[in-house]
């Protein structure tokens, strides 16, 4: 298609696992060609420093008071973004016209008017000699939105690739979970609770592990139903008006004292329960559920979701879309839409007052 652009999307999610990069070709509307995807894991040491830094930051002031560390981490992660970008661009030998650079979320407080993504777009633009779009969430928040989730408009485009006329719910399980409900012209979206964050944080704090590979630890433990019953009534998880989350809002301390495997089993079931109850509260009709994000590889979590949601659940990979890269593709798509001044968020996806575009362009070469 002649009016299509080649875009590179870069996403580093709340799990702090690393950077996903995708090149797509799109007109920002219905045409889509996914060219390539690539992943670069953050070095363990960087992961630790990022996680430690994020844990110290409780508001914008904390960032100002620690601006030296912020800037040095920012430079470091930006250079990793440059590295993976060069890699995927060189491999594909295509002429990128715009780069969508999400950056690493440090704090997300839309109710206080901000969401901070670490990442130096000027430096990335200079290093890559590319136009870089960043700060995707600010305009949405300025217009009364939650600044999240932003991927739904891309999810809607993806549904045209699925051979079904039923309502579709795309459920992304990253550090935090979010869904997009797509049916005809309707697009409804929200964060929906924890994803891998409770499980990963517990593993990190108790054993220095990053995640429960394939959900095998969870499958070897017993679920503590008393704890589940007690905590699932917690108002935080049931708050109706809750539309987006900061990863630090999730606290695993309610499983303290349990045997290690039982704690993981309980956190995994708890995560599935919150996701399914919140979906069921908001979406009443029968839907085909399609999973993406790293959490879809946690087989125990997926097993619980299948049972609790009582819907058809498939992995997005079954439709030839790599479920690890939906978000990086989405930020490539959003960068094209942003570049063309098209809306990227809607009242039904972020609670914004009206459909708005978003992202700021940096050209520094």
Ligand X SMILES: Nc1ncnc2c1ncn2[C@@H]1O[C@H](COP(=O)(O)OP(=O)(O)O)[C@@H](O)[C@H]1O
Tokens at 218, concatenated: 């969870």
Binding site for ligand X (CB under 6 A): 13-15, 17, 174-175, 196, 200, 211-215, 293-295, 297-298, 327
Q: What is the dihedral of CA 256, 262, 263, 268, to 10 degrees?
A: -160
| H, E, C per residue of 130-149 | CCEEECCCHHHHHCCCCCCC
Residue 219 CB, nearest distance to ligand X (Å)? 11
Residue of 7, 9, 10, 17 interacting with Mg ion (CB under 5 A) = 17
Spatial distance between the Cα atoms of 244 and 247, rounded to a whole number of angstroms: 10
Spatial distance between the Cα atoms of 216 and 231, rounded to a whole number of angstroms: 24
Residue of 10, 15, 106, 135 interacting with Mg ion (CB under 5 A) = 15
Spatial distance between the Cα atoms of 151 and 327, rounded to a whole number of angstroms: 7
Only segment of 15-23, 34-42, 183-191, 204-212 that touches Mg ion (CB under 5 A): 15-23
Spatial distance between the Cα atoms of 270 and 211, rounded to a whole number of angstroms: 16
When the beta carbons of 203 and 344 are compared against ligand X, the nearer one is 203
When the beta carbons of 17 and 246 are compared against ligand X, the nearer one is 17
Which residue number has the CB closest to Mg ion?
13
196 binds, among Mg ion, ligand X, none (CB under 5 to 8 A by kind): ligand X
The helix/strand count (H/E) of the chain reads as 14, 12
213 binds, among ligand X, Mg ion, none (CB under 5 to 8 A by kind): ligand X
Residue 242 CB, nearest distance to ligand X (Å)? 18
Distances from the Cα of 84 to the Cαs of 19, 142, 360, in angstroms? 8, 31, 22
**Residue 9 interacting with Mg ion (CB under 5 A):** no
Q: Among residues 253, 197, 207, which one has the least CA distance to residue 227?
A: 253
For residue 86, count other CB atoms closer than 10 A to its CB.
12
Residue 192 CB, nearest distance to ligand X (Å)? 14
Which phi and psi (to 5°) does residue 20 adopt? Answer: -100, 135
Residue 230 CB, nearest distance to Mg ion (Å)? 31
Residue 245 CB, nearest distance to ligand X (Å)? 11
Which phi and psi (to 5°) does residue 169 adopt? Answer: -120, 115
Please count the residues of this chain forming the interface with Mg ion, following the rule CB under 5 A: 3
When the beta carbons of 40 and 153 are compared against Mg ion, the nearer one is 40
Tokens at 82, concatenated: 């440059």
14 binds, among Mg ion, ligand X, none (CB under 5 to 8 A by kind): ligand X
Only segment of 12-20, 61-69, 114-122, 264-272 that touches Mg ion (CB under 5 A): 12-20
Residue 203 CB, nearest distance to ligand X (Å)? 9
When the beta carbons of 83 and 219 are compared against ligand X, the nearer one is 219
**Residue 246 interacting with Mg ion (CB under 5 A):** no
When the beta carbons of 116 and 273 are compared against Mg ion, the nearer one is 116
Contact yes or no for 70/56 (Cβ under 8 A): no
* Edge-first strand listing for the sheet containing 186-194: 186-194, 176-183, 168-173, 288-292, 312-315
Residue 172 CB, nearest distance to ligand X (Å)? 7
Any alpha helices (H) in the chain, and if so which ranges?
44-56, 60-65, 67-92, 121-128, 138-142, 152-159, 197-207, 216-220, 225-231, 235-238, 260-282, 299-309, 326-339, 347-350
Only segment of 13-21, 126-134, 263-271, 340-348 that touches Mg ion (CB under 5 A): 13-21
**Residue 13 interacting with Mg ion (CB under 5 A):** yes
Residue 128 CB, nearest distance to ligand X (Å)? 22
Spatial distance between the Cα atoms of 247 and 38, rounded to a whole number of angstroms: 25
Stretch 304-323: interaction string toward Mg ion, x if CB under 5 A = --------------------
Which phi and psi (to 5°) does residue 295 adopt? Answer: -65, -20
Residue 268 CB, nearest distance to Mg ion (Å)? 19
181 binds, among Mg ion, ligand X, none (CB under 5 to 8 A by kind): none
User: What is the contact surface with Mg ion in residues (CB under 5 A)?
Assistant: 13, 15, 17
């Amino acid at each position: 298609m002649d009016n299509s652009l080649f875009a590179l999307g870069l996403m580093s999610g709340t799990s702090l696992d690393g950077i996903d990069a995708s090149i797509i070709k799109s007109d920002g509307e219905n045409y889509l060609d996914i060219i390539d995807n690539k992943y670069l894991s953050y070095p363990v040491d960087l992961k630790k420093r990022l996680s430690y830094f994020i844990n110290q930051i409780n508001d914008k002031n904390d960032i100002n008071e620690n601006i030296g560390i912020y800037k040095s981490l920012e430079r470091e992660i930006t250079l990793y973004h440059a590295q993976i970008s060069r890699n995927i661009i060189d491999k594909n030998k295509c002429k990128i016209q715009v780069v969508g650079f999400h950056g690493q979320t440090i704090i997300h407080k839309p109710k206080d008017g901000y969401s901070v993504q670490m990442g130096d777009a000027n430096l990335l633009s200079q290093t890559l000699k590319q136009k870089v779009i960043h700060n995707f969430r600010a305009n949405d928040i300025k217009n009364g939105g939650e600044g999240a989730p932003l991927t739904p408009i891309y999810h809607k485009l993806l549904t045209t690739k699925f051979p079904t006329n039923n309502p579709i719910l795309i459920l992304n399980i990253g550090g935090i979970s979010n869904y997009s409900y797509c049916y005809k012209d309707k697009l409804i979206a929200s964060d929906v609770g924890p994803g891998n964050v409770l499980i990963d944080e517990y593993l990190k704090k108790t054993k220095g592990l990053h995640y429960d590979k394939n959900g095998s630890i969870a499958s070897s433990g017993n679920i503590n139903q008393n704890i589940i019953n007690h905590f699932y009534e917690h108002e935080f998880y049931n708050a109706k008006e809750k539309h987006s989350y900061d990863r630090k809002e999730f606290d695993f301390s309610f499983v303290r004292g349990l045997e290690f495997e039982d704690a993981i089993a309980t956190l995994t079931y708890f995560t599935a329960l919150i996701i399914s109850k919140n979906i069921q509260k908001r979406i009443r009709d029968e839907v085909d559920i399609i999973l993406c994000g790293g959490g879809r590889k946690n087989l125990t979590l997926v097993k619980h979701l299948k049972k609790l949601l009582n819907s058809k659940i498939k992995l997005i990979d079954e439709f030839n879309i790599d479920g690890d890269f939906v978000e990086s593709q989405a930020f490539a798509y959003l960068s094209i839409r942003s570049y063309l001044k098209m809306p990227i968020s809607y009242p039904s996806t972020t609670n914004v007052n009206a459909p708005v575009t978003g992202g700021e362009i940096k050209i520094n070469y």
